[in-house]
Amino acid sequence: MEGLIKGLIDVALGHGNNNNNNNNDDDEQPGPQDRDEQSRSTWAQVVTGEQDNEEEDDNRRSGHRTHHASSNQNRWNRQENAELGNEEWRVSGSRPSRSPQYQKTVHEEYGKYEDAERQGYNKNHWNKEENEVENNDGWETVGRKPQRQPHKIQKDQWHGYKRPASEQEYSDEVEIGDNIEPSEEELADLSQACNKLWELDLNRLVPGKDYEIDCGEGKKVYQKEDMAQGSLFSRLSEDIFRRPTFSRFFSLLDNYNPDQGHKEVVTSEERQEQAAFIEEISRTAPIKYLHKYLSSKGVVPENYQDFKRMMTSLWFDLYGRGGTSGSSSAFEHVFVGEIKQRGEQEVSGFHNWLQFYLEEAKGRVDYQGYIFPRRRGQTPDYETQLITVQFEWNGVLKSVSSMFVGVSPEFEVALYALCFYMGGEDNYIQLGPYPVNIKCYRLGDRIGSVFPIAEC
């Protein structure tokens, strides 16, 4: 019995030794736990070492889109719709909501593709209004820009500006007496004349009272990161949309196809809108001063009606741009903006704050931060009325664009026309607290482009 027991023990011990040997052999073949560790190690290598080049592969493995480390755009693959009502536009009550995957989501009316390419524009589709709709089942996307509570803007009166001239009603002529007569000093110095226009801009808005902006963080022109947590504009008083020159300006903005190579078709109703806008602003102090100044120099007719027709022609007559005749105008380029279709797409023009506000409110503009000023200590804030920014317009980048904020349409029309007729390509002037260069490019006897560059 003892021998039997001892034999059984030996067999048992021998069997254990065989197991140990097998485990030693299996050091080259990891067990389930080791394979799991190796799998995690391999995954880490894929994510950290090949993220830039293999992002799509990683996305398939993970079952969702990962955040691209170099884009820093906080864009997530989430379906959203941005729509505006038929008769009213939804705009800000606090801060805006913009799609965090602005370039990724396919929008039917814009013909967008996942890589943000746009193959062409249609004016009717471009101006199609949308309503912002969300269905996220209560989930909140990390890094998403803050939600803005919408309110409605009544724009019914804008449609009336297309009616014949006999049916138009205009505001009263401004009464300012001798204040619009240019002084000898102003006639001799373009900067003083431009600053006089700034003083005469009685419709200029008050920052913090009539509107609110949030400049966000600054950046260099070459930086592509989105440095703005929200929109540039967080509020604009509804009263502004009822002011005569502002409302007539707004009514013009949907008359254009932004494709730079698209031939514009101007209807008789749109021509009436143009004439009505010029008539309205011609009743204000800046335009009256402009006429006095230019007529004293012999540049424009002394007859005010002839002068108004000249202003209509200067801003609205069509000319060729982007290889297509009749595809652009000074008004469209400077105030509305265009998108170049040759080569890599880019935004051209677009230097008006009212157009920026509306396009931002409709979800078409993605503000990405201000461009650092040349001088330290000149960081823009909520009171700034001249700012240089970077943004995307329907997914197409505008790397740098300067614009006034809060000024009236009549002021900009007068300022740019004055520099066009009396200045050169560079016009270094002082406007209130702002040293500015009004850059002016000519296309023959037309305004090719004109915009401010902050000199501080």
Active site residues: 333, 351, 398
Q: Which element (helix H / strand E) includes 153?
A: strand 150-154
Write out the E strands in 237-283.
none
Closest CA to 287 of 312, 318, 254: 312
Map tokens 């067999």 to a residue.
Answer: 11
Interior CA angle at 184 toward 182 and 186, to 5°?
55
Which DSSP letter does residue 30 get? -
Largest CA distance in the chain: 135
367, 380 in Cβ contact below 8 A?
Answer: no
Token code pair at residue 409: 């349409």
311-325 b/e with 16+ CB inside 10 Å = b? bbebbbebbebbeee
Map tokens 């265009």 to a residue.
Answer: 338
C-beta atoms surrounding 239 within 10 Å: 10
DSSP-derived secondary structure for 167-229: G---PPPP--GGGGSPPHHHHH-HHHHHHHHHHH-TTPPPBTTTEEE----EE-TT--S---S
Token code pair at residue 40: 């995690």
Write out the E strands in 303-433.
319-321, 324-328, 338-340, 346-348, 365-371, 386-393, 396-404, 426-431
Token code pair at residue 113: 């593709």
Instruction: Compute the distance between CA of residue 294 and CA of residue 302 in angstroms, rounded to an integer.
Output: 9
C-beta atoms surrounding 182 within 10 Å: 19
List of residues 6+ apart from 382 with CB closer than 8 A:
207, 208, 212, 213, 214, 215
425, 439 in Cβ contact below 8 A?
Answer: yes
List of residues 6+ apart from 39 with CB closer than 8 A:
none
195, 429 in Cβ contact below 8 A?
Answer: yes
Ranges of H-type helices in 143-214: 156-159, 184-188, 190-200
Q: Which element (helix H / strand E) includes 420?
A: helix 409-422
